Amino acid sequence: MCGIFFRLSSVGEEFSKKDFDRLCATLRTSNAERGPDFQASVIERIPQGTDTEGSVELVAEFYGSELRLRGDSPIQQPHQKDGNILCWNGEIFGGLEISAKENDGVKLMEELACVKEHDEVVDIFARIEGPYAFVFYHALPPRLNTSVPEDDLVMVESLDDIPSHWVKPVDDFYNLLDRSTWLRVRDIPQTGPAGSARVSVLFSGGIDSTIVAYLAHNHVPPDEAIDLFNVAFENPRKIRLQQAGNIEALPKRQRKRERAALDATHWQAETSYSVPDRVTGLQELEELKKLCPGRRWNFVEINVPYEESKGARQRIEILMLPSRTVMDLSLALALYFASRGKGQIRSDMNADATPYESPARVVLSGLGSDELLGGYGRHRSAFKTGGWPAVIEELQLEIDRIPTRNLGRDDRIISSHGKETRYPFLSLDVVSFLAQLPVHLKLDPRVETGKGDKTLLRLMVRKLGLVEASSRKKRAMQFGSRSARMDNEQKGDATLSE
């Protein structure tokens, strides 16, 4: 494979020219090592019309180094013909007829020099079978075309500025998700008093539930409330651990003795429902209030005492069948009590709580975001072990199993309250759009959690002004609400005992 380098700058542009030239020299040297047979640069000046200060001109440098693996004659890069310029690094195994004595870069340049329209250029590259990266300057009309492998893409360093190649996907994604939400909140019969909530959201304050709530606000009449269901569990195991301190740091044998002693002791502590999802939920409520003034958000604090959750366990286990794992139960507990919508609300943060039972019969869920956009840690692990192909395979597996792993169980749980769950992320239009989108536009596992996971969604949410939500890290519902591991530390994939 050859080495290619491209530089584009504006005449008179203000930047550190010395540092820029040093960087370019380093990149030329690095690319020369990839193509030891020949190296050269071509400089092209590209007029760009005028601005208020006069004419504008871009200076483009095309640099190529050649590693000749095809053809009988020495080849020089960049390839030039009739004013067109091609830097080529690749192998063509199909799509163009190339004899054993011909060079693929030369043959490709001949094909490209014959076309006049940009769409014809795209068609030529679409036919090519094989790995490649290229920079092509089309002289008539002047147009620059590029392609680089996904592994070489520039990483997102900040969510504040959307890179140019993300702008259209972000806008298209927003439009599709917004329409999907509209279809799911329109024409719902009013069963409660005028102005009461017809729509509710399973709300943790995370990025998925926040964007669903925000988009629902776009389409629910402004004089109606929207209920935000936020669930928290009294978890005796967590309380005992808080009383005991950090026993996890003790040696294994001593840790077992300490746990046994705690289990034998009747724990007494003031129950706190300040679980992680309650904290982030209240934080995000304030951000929604700022962006959506005039909307009445009913933040429903759903506090579940241990004895109540224990008493409901048998019914919940029956409802979630055939799902039978420890993790299924943890999630089902959270969904059961959250979707029931029975809790308390406050007129403001410092006001006394008032008992409340939601009349909303539609429950919106952010399910599908992690599966479609790479929000789980296993997507990062897949990239580390198998690169982008492994990520694509894992994402496909997520979509294939979401009906059996999630949707059936969740529907059985939530519908037991006479309510219907609706999933804006799982509309056919949204799923189809995301399935066709290149994987590197959906996530970047090379970047830290909170940026690299669900990058497309984070950029969109940031653009809307939901700054805090855009950078929140993934937290599973059962851990955020503390419905998991109430009695012991069984692994999530363990089958429930009879």
Q: Report, as residue numbers or ranges, the catalytic residues.
A: 2
Concatenated DSSP letters of 112-172? HHT--SHHHHHHHHHH-BS-EEEEEEETTTTEEEEE--GGGSPP---SSS--HHHHHHHHH
Distance in angstroms (rounded) separating the CA atoms of residues 66 and 69? 9
Cβ-contact 383, 444 below 8 angstroms: no
Q: Between helices 207-219 and 164-185, what is the axis angle to 10°?
A: 60
Give the containing element (helix H, strand E) for 445.
Answer: none
Show the tokens assigned to 405.
């792993």
Q: If DSSP codes are grouped into helix, strand and coil, which group holds residue 282? A: helix
Half-sphere exposure in the Cβ direction for 375 (13 Å, CA): 23
Distance in angstroms (rounded) separating the CA atoms of residues 406 and 172? 27
Q: How many CB atoms lie under 10 A from the CB of residue 111?
A: 16
Taking the alpha carbons of 408, 409, 413, 416 in that order, is the dihedral positive or negative? Answer: positive
Cβ-contact 113, 84 below 8 angstroms: yes
Concatenated DSSP letters of 54-66? EEEEEEEEEEEEE
Nearest to 12 by CA among 43, 49, 53, 41: 53
Could you tell me whether strands 79-81 and 54-66 are parallel, antiparallel, or unpaired per DSSP bridges? unpaired
DSSP state of 77: S
Distance in angstroms (rounded) separating the CA atoms of residues 229 and 219? 19
Show the tokens assigned to 154.
């520039």
Cβ-contact 212, 365 below 8 angstroms: yes
Question: Cis ω on the peptide bond leading into residue 141 (within 30° of 0)?
Answer: yes
Nearest to 361 by CA among 423, 301, 417: 417
> Measured between alpha carbons, how far is residue 7 from residues 27, 42, 63, 133 in Å?
10, 11, 8, 15
Q: How many CB atoms lie under 10 A from the CB of residue 63?
A: 24
Distance in angstroms (rounded) separating the CA atoms of residues 418 and 361? 7
